[in-house]
Structure 1
């Protein structure tokens, strides 16, 4: 995470957190159906079958087997889990990743991309409502669910397991990014800014964030102990977050997030999910656009 905050050997910021992904599940829904809780070693094809098994009902009474937020990462993650990068010249691993999302929609075990966009659906509300069995989202969701419990907004039991993985990829292989803090070189209060930066990205700040359920940039045994707590708070299997093998969601290079992810992958993936082009066409267009709209304008 620290190395990802460097450019040309200069440190641009420090990570106070890192975000990696996990699969959250509603234990009550599994108990009601008499279905075993999801395994910590589940392939994407097994996830698809489990999502179908947990789907039932229609309309407002529908229980969705799974929820995937309408972000490109939620469909391309299976390619990144194999070590592929979204700026590779050959993006063939991403074709299967996109097809996986399309198949889940065809099964009607997840809310369609079109419905998510039109209704403004959100992973937090969808899971807290109690009508979603499985939800794949980042570590920050732990703090959101704990707060919801404290506020009395959810009454069901829940836990986490690692996200599904492709065949021949080890279990608990996740995506992660550093969440960084920087200080402005033109600040009139550089000493104060640096003091704040030291606190939030050092041990004191890390212990504070860890107690609230966030994975931190700075980590040692004390921070791990603060993160795991005394076992009285959910989720029971919080330890999985500390055991992940991680690949970056995308390279920390200028323009990758706002051009490659938020424009190219989002736009072309959406067209495929709306049925306006095939997965093959989408990936071909992404390859071409990454080269023309980003790579050709970058220095290397």
Structure 2
């Protein structure tokens, strides 16, 4: 499967490779250009040890200097170090940014350069070549890598003990019911039915959009026309679901414990202190267990829940990594070649994530899932069919490009949510204050 996919893009890649290594007739071969690539990604999740040599073999005139900004894959730490590197004038050529807000913020700061000229020269449409359209302010500052729609990861042993089936199509009400039935015990040894990893310091804001997330349109805090979407009843329903699960059902790991103890979804799931984790499908590359988190139980995956039984299935939020050329780079052409390769056939070579590249057909998804899981410690404990069904059935809603002040919007909503979850204001007050703060940001940033 991998070879056939690579063969399918051989014509384009061969052209790129020849362009990169050609020399004037009779001239001396150029010295390889080294480009500096800054990323949050660890090798366990991104397989750099195989991916980068594969690129350098195909493009011998370009060498990659990999700079890992966090030794634990922490995106917040990586972003801070990236900004410090930019402000201190460090050499940077290729940047990996992990979410729309981080991407938009670095564009606004002038750290990323547009790549429209390179795209036009190559002659393709990003919206056709990739399943994620990264257009921002009318320009392309990045190309997408993985396609990681959100799904629900389940401890199948816990489901079996509770007499519950692996859902193939379900609602948020059913998700809540599962969480209640899976919750067990009290005190320090209590097992919670579900774990929400956000919001966290303005990040993982998907947890503030739970019931917005399974729509074909208007899935974000802002609408496509730039107006606030916080008056959507689905925003209020999300907050109500969060509060009911934590305060009434006590089936959700408490927010204050998660923040104060810096709890993380990986140990919560693999240590079996929770039965269900709602997370992006980048988690697939770890589901069979890793050196850090061994797997001692059976795992299955369910689709992102929908709001009502009659709603269409398959819609879910998604996350991608944004590969950008540093504005300060002196080797922008070489940086673009690496980005273009990495976001297409490089994703297949990496074998860790579902690619955003449109040339990967739905029927090939099962093989890709198998390859990804085969690199984990105990792939036999993972229900591969459940993952394949979820990934194959995924539908991408209309993409709304992030605004350059997205991080400020996220921070404002996160702060108001904390006052809500700590009992210092009610839902209606939180929504009003959030709407007021977001509207002020919209007005301030109008051109």
Alpha-carbon deviations, 1:221-243, whole Å to 9, x = none? Answer: 39636523368643422221232
> Do the aligned residues in 2 keep the contact of 1:5 with 1:252 (CA within 8 Å)?
no
What residue is the counterpart of 2:317 in the other structure?
A: 175
1:224 aligned onto 2:374:
no
Indicate the larger mover: 94-103 or 242-251. Answer: 242-251
Distance 1:52 1:8, change over 3 A: closer
Equivalent of 1:136 in 268, 278, 301? 278
Gaps of 5+ in 1: none
Partners of 1:243 and 1:172 in 2: CA distance: 5
C-alpha distance 287-152 of structure 1, shift in aligned 2 (>3 A): closer
Residue 260 (structure 1) aligned with residue 409 (structure 2):
yes
Root-mean-square deviation (CA, aligned residues, Å) is: 2.4
Could you tell me how far 1:86 is from its partner in structure 2? Answer: 0.7
Aligned residues: 292
Report Cα offsets for 1:245-280 as digits up to 9, x if no partner: 233797422111x1111x112111111111111111
C-alpha distance in structure 2 between counterparts of 1:285 and 1:113, whole Å: 21
Residues 1:298 and 2:440 aligned together: no
Checking the alignment, whether the CA contact within 8 Å between 2:134 and 2:144 is kept in structure 1 is yes
1:113 and 1:273 in contact (8 A); partners too: yes
Matching residue of 2:121: none
Give SS of 1:24's match: strand
What displacement does 1:154 show?
A: 1.9
Alignment match of 2:337 (pick from 168, 190, 195): 195
Q: Which residues of 2 match residues 53-92 of structure 1 at below 5 A?
A: 53-71=181-199, 72-82=205-215, 83-84=217-218, 85-87=220-222, 88-89=228-229, 90-92=231-233
Q: Is the contact between residue 75 and residue 100 of structure 1 (CA under 8 Å) also seen in structure 2? A: no
Q: Which deviations, in whole Å up to 9, do the C-alpha atoms of 1:175-215 show, x marking residues without a partner?
A: 0133210112431222331221122112x212124x22x12
Among candidates 427, 433, 436, match of residue 279 of structure 1:
427
Unaligned 5+ runs, structure 2: 1-126, 200-204, 223-227
Larger of the two Rg values belongs to structure: 2
Q: CA separation in 1, counterparts of 2:346 and 2:275?
A: 34
The residue that corresponds to 1:159 in the other structure is: 300
Shift of 1:131: 2.5
1:6 aligned to which of 135, 145, 165: 135
| Whole-angstrom CA distance in 1 between matches of 2:145 and 2:364 | 12
Aligned to 1:244: 394
Superimposed CA distance per residue, residues 4-30 of structure 1 (whole angstroms, 9 cap, x where no aligned partner): 311343211100123320000001112
For the residues of structure 2 that align with 1:247 and 1:267, how far apart are their CA atoms?
27
Preserved CA contact (<8 Å) 1:17 1:217: yes
Aligned mates of 2:364, 2:334 — CA distance in 1: 25
The DSSP-based 3-state class of the residue aligned with 2:211 is: helix
Give the secondary-structure state (helix, strand or coil) at the position aligned to 2:297: coil
TM-score where L is the length of structure 2: 0.61
Displacement of 1:157? 0.7
Q: Specify which structure has the bigger relative contact order, considering alpha-carbon pairs within 8 angstroms and separated by 6 or more residues.
A: 1
